[in-house]
Amino acid sequence: MSRIHNLELNTNWSWKQREPAVESVLDEVDGWKPAQAYPSEIHVELLKSGAIPDPYLGFNENKVQWISKAEWLYKCTFDFTADAVDDHALLEFLGLDTICDVYLNGAKILAADNMFQTHVVPLELSSLKQQNTLLLHFKSALLLAKELEAQMGVVRAGSTNLGDPSRVYVRKAQYDWRWDWGPELMTCGPYRPITLKTYTVRIKDVQTHALLSDANAPSLTVDVTLDGSPPAGSSLRITLASLDGKVLRTADVSASTSVIGGAVSWDLSGVVEPWWPVGYGAQALYNVSVSLVSIPASSSSQPPSDAEAILDEKTTRIGFRRVALVQEPLAEADQYGTGTTFLFEVNGVRMFMGGSNWVPADNLLTTISPERYRAWLTLLRDGNQNMVRLWGGGVYEPDVFYDTCDELGILVWQDFQFACGVYPAHDAFVASGRKEAEDNVRRLRHHPSLALFCGNNEDYQLILQWGDVKDFPAIKIYEEVLPEVVSALTGPHAPVPYHRGSPYGGKGWDTADPTVGDVHQWNVWGGKEFPWQDYVKLGGRFVSEFGIPSHPEMKTIEYWMDGAGAEARHAQSALMAQHCRAGSFERRLAILMNEGFRVTEDLETYVYNTRLMAAEAVGYAYQVWRRKWGGRGKEYTAGVLVWQLNDCWPVTSWAIADYFLRPKPIYFTIKRQLETYSVGIMRTVIKNRANDRPPQYYEYGNFQSYGATLEIWGTNSSLAPRAATLELHCVDLKSRWTHTETHAVTLLPNQATELLALPCPGPPQDVAAAPPTGDAQFTSTHSVVVGARLLDGETGKVLARYADWPQPYRFIEPALLSQPGLDVKIDRATGEVRVSAERPVKGLWLSATSDDGKEGKEEAKWSDNALDVMPGDPQVVFVKGLGEREVGVGASWLGREKVQPL
């Protein structure tokens, strides 16, 4: 009896463009080039061979569109020596992108048409020779989509900046057709591993049910499926061990049948610890190993043997947790009414979800290394985020993504890969979608980080918005096929929750109903183009998408400029537009920018302002929506996921960190709002006329206000109350007047707590600048910055801080901001950076010089940034990557937006 043989076909690959003049692809002889990557995509090979320019630079994207209309061939040669006792063989393809005919030794063995499926092709052992050739013929997904569209009809799918509508007919990553943050790069190739397996019997599938009871008592059940005929007397050895190898439980079970349900069922109370999301406990992980063991029978001529043969083995890493999506009636109404919750409960604890949406981290998927995945997810975790939503127009990510989420304690919301379109539901398409779902649910179901499967992204919403779509055939997929697959493959003990679409909720699919389900809040920036100050009125039970675009830092812009001249270095140049795909971005950015900031022709200043604007807007949204996490029965908003965490190429987008993992200011404002403790301020201006200007003009927009009121609250995500001191420090920008007061407060556990309501302090009339009116009711708060700090009641340590500034910022005279007496002290040995100021500073951005990151050195990484600094409140942050190198440091802030050397 032989153990299974696995031969990954990872060498001897070559590729070429298909020559239409050659009648059969089997006859393609000339022009083969050795592959320089494995797994491989054709754009990567063309780029590495110098056949195309880098599509991420300049206008080069436009120069490579011909690739998507061509056909491409890959070839692999491999040796094979048969084992005399093997009687089964198969080829396993973990990912073929996308339309691919596969030939083994000249015989066609597979016609693949779904990028997201795992293709397992049984082989006759006689089809394998001593020397073998595997040929992959990739056809144009772009042209096939148009052919299918001609046959089945043109349907609605996104808009002009969300790719050609024909994309819905092909099961390929939808963002490849172009999206409003990504390029059009229709790549193809064997983008995930290919393995030849030969065996007598193998372990086909292992399903682990790592359970926690309602009382958090752990247990483990393991189901095993075999392929082939196990020899008489063989057994399954199932072992549970800690990651350091300590065996916690083991058992041998007879392997007499191919399906062994409940091979073991262990009560593990006192043996294992639960897995917790980040911030709530440790991420306890364990290995479950299943070995198929055969003990050779003795013969009369040989003495008995105790030697065991391990025919196959699989190891699955698990964590013990239970997760629920709780949708229950709220005890009291909020501004929207009552409705139901939409919240995640893990191990019996209801948790506020603060996180990001994920798009593929590159258009060239094979270039994303495990280290790069870990860097992205660590950045998310270090930003105090506990959930990532994998958006439905990308891909099901490789195992390393979910493994890393398990390790870091990041909960995963996994969309199925349908986005922004009217998808078909004919029999072949439904069958392909079902297998796609089965393949990926089986692959992902054991991950403790997996919190939700979701049917699609915005399909219900867009059909409602369009209003002219008569048929919605994919309902069959979202409301029948996918929930059936999730229930069957993750249940019955503890099925992973399923949500039929995002957003979804309300009567008649009212995907904008703020009282039911989740919402995508795009009426700021898009939709009705409301000001960002309206986020306080535009929430919902769970905000799974919203955002404001901003530019990356100048270093990234210079990268895509690729040496372009001065004529390209302004905000409205064609080259800047080439790297901004957001729909109607010229108008939409102008609305928000002109309302909040002074118009400028200087690119660096403009870039700074977009970054500060996005940081202010999105930080405010997190602040006011987290305030609505009000405790049991008042969980009015239970989660906020910004669009989006990352970029797939160098671009201006909604990403909170750019393609090179360089965090934007928005990353840090979100990080502060999601700290264990935070403090918030809502200033409400008392207008002197009922029909005065709207709230986004705050106080600087109307010098005849009758003052303002302040509401101050704190949040506490820990499960224990926290006593603290609330300190208010008010500073007038136009005078030397200040005001300080303190209050003893208690932050209730796992919720927001209303702390204080009071009139906004302001300087007396004889100190304040003369108002443009003699109205006796006029007050002088229009130029007051209000700072709030939460201090530990015993040690005085700062738990949280926030500064509320008068708005819009364009009305603040630069002279009041440009000379704040800023002092920055950097200890290069320890990385400690101490920041203080004599006058209030808005949006202080610390950065290293252009030499940063060169010569293979690490780029500077800041623990905090985009700081609001108040007098008398020094802040300490840390920087990694400066060390003793002669790298300069600069700073910019509102009023001095161009970097100033320190």
Q: What is the pLDDT of residues 482-492, one digit of tens each?
A: 999 999 999 88
Compute how many other C-beta atoms are within 10 angstroms of the C-beta atom of residue 106: 10
Predicted pLDDT of residue 350: 98
> What is the DSSP secondary-structure string of 828-894?
TTTTEEEEE-SS-EEEEEEEE-TTTT-TTPPPPEESS-SEEE-TT--EEEEEES-TTS---EEEEET
pLDDT in the model for residue 509: 82
Same domain? 772 vs 882:
no
String of DSSP letters for 124-153:
-GGG--SEEEEEEEE--HHHHHHHHHHHH-
Residue keyed to tokens 């393991």: 222
Question: CATH no. for residue 722?
Answer: 2.60.40.10
Residue 390 makes CB contacts below 8 A (sequence gap 6+) with: 358, 396, 397, 412, 413, 414, 415
Residue 315 backbone phi and psi in degrees, to 5: -125, 130
Chain centre to alpha carbon of residue 587? 27
As given in the structure block, the two tokens for residue 633 are 């029965």
Spatial CA neighbour of 397 closest among 648, 141, 75, 99:
648
Is residue 204 included in any domain, yes or no?
A: no
Domain boundary pick from 196, 223, 239 = 196
What is the DSSP-derived secondary structure letter of residue 714?
E
Tell whether 208 is covered by a domain. Answer: no
Q: Which of 558, 532, 788 is nearest to 650 (CA)?
A: 558
CA–CA dist 113, 117 (Å, integer): 9
DSSP single-letter state for residue 496: P
Which one-letter amino acid corresponds to residue 360?
P
Before 398, cis peptide (omega within 30)?
no
Of 193, 224, 118, the C-alpha closest to 440 is: 118
User: What is the domain-level CATH number for residue 536?
Assistant: 3.20.20.80
Residues 6 or more apart whose CB falls under 8 angstroms from that of 7 comprise: 78, 80, 195, 196, 197, 198
CB atoms within 10 A of CB 493: 11
Please check whether residues 43 and 122 belong to one and the same domain. Answer: yes
Q: Is the residue at 201 inside a domain?
A: no
Phi, psi torsion values for 782, nearest 5 degrees: -65, -15
Kindly state the tokens that stand for 149: 């569209």
Q: Are residues 290 and 362 in the same domain?
A: no
Q: Smallest Cα–Cα separation from 87: which of 190, 227, 265?
A: 227
Pairing of strands 107-112, 119-123: unpaired
Question: What per-residue string of b and e applies to 783-821 under the rule 16 or more CB within 10 Å gives b?
Answer: bbbbbbbbbeeeeeeebbbbbbbbbbbebbeeeebeebe
* Last residue of one domain, picked from the residues 295, 318, 341: 318
Residues 853, 822 share a domain: yes
- Whether 752 is in a domain gets the answer yes
Same domain? 786 vs 845: no
First-residue to last-residue Cα distance in the chain? 72
- Between vectors from CA 267 to CA 264 and to CA 271, what angle results, nearest 5°? 115
- Cα–Cα distance between 858 and 559 in angstroms, integer? 17
Task: With a cut of 50, list the residues of the chain below it in pLDDT.
Answer: 299-305
The answer to whether residues 460 and 433 belong to one domain is yes
The 3-class SS string of 869-881 reads ECCCCCEEEEEEC
Sheet holding 88-93, edge to edge: 5-8, 194-199, 88-93, 119-123
**Do 666 and 618 form a contact (C-beta atoms < 8 A)?**
yes
Cβ contact 365:39 at 8 Å? no
For residues 220 and 188, state if they share a domain: no
Could you tell me the CA-to-CA distances from 830 to 243, 484, 662, 882 in Å, in that order? 33, 55, 22, 10
CA distances to 16, 117, 565, 610, 646 from 558, in Å: 34, 39, 11, 17, 19
Strand segments, DSSP code E, in 619-676 are 639-642
Q: Are 694 and 701 in contact (CB under 8 A)?
A: no
Whether 584 and 686 map to the same domain: the answer is: no
Indicate the burial class of 382 (C-beta count within 10 angstroms; 0-12, 13-18, 19 or more): middle
In the numeric block, which tokens belong to residue 634?
Answer: 């008042």
Q: Catalytic amino acids?
A: 458
Choosing from 613, 642, 673, the residue where a domain stops is 673
| Domain tally, the chain | 5
Closest by alpha carbon to 274, among 346, 177, 207?
346
Cα–Cα distance, 578 to 560 (Å, whole number): 10
Instruction: Evaluate whether residue 892 is within a structural domain.
Output: yes
CA-based max dimension of the chain = 116
What does the CA dihedral 172, 174, 178, 179 come to, rounded to 10 degrees?
-160
Token pair of 315 as six digits? 């190891």
Note whether 672 and 875 are within 8 A (CB). no
pTM over 0.75: yes
**Is residue 728 domain-shared with residue 854, that is, in the same domain?**
no
Distances (CA, A) of 902 to 824, 831, 832: 7, 15, 15
SS3 751: strand
| CATH number where 153 lies | 2.60.120.260
- Per DSSP, helices labelled H in 445-584 are 459-466, 475-476, 482-490, 554-561, 574-578
Long-range Cβ contacts of 510-515 (<8 Å, 24+ apart): 510/464, 511/460, 511/461, 511/464, 512/461, 513/339, 513/540, 514/336, 514/339, 514/538, 514/539, 514/540, 514/541, 515/336, 515/337, 515/338, 515/339, 515/340, 515/540, 515/541
Q: Rounded to whole angstroms, what are the CA distances from 757 to 407, 710, 712, 743, 792?
A: 42, 6, 6, 12, 21
Same domain, 314 and 327: no
Shared domain for 588 and 697, answered yes or no, is no
Tokens representing 358?
A: 């994920």
206: in domain? no
Residue bearing tokens 């950076």: 833
Domain that holds residue 252: 214-318
| C-alpha to C-alpha distances, 537 to 144, 231, 512, 754, nearest whole angstrom | 45, 67, 13, 18
Residue 203 lies in a domain: no
CA distances from 858 to 378, 861, 874 (A): 16, 8, 27
Any domain includes 884: yes
Same domain, 737 and 635: no
Q: Where are the alpha helices (DSSP H) in 579-642?
A: 585-596, 603-626
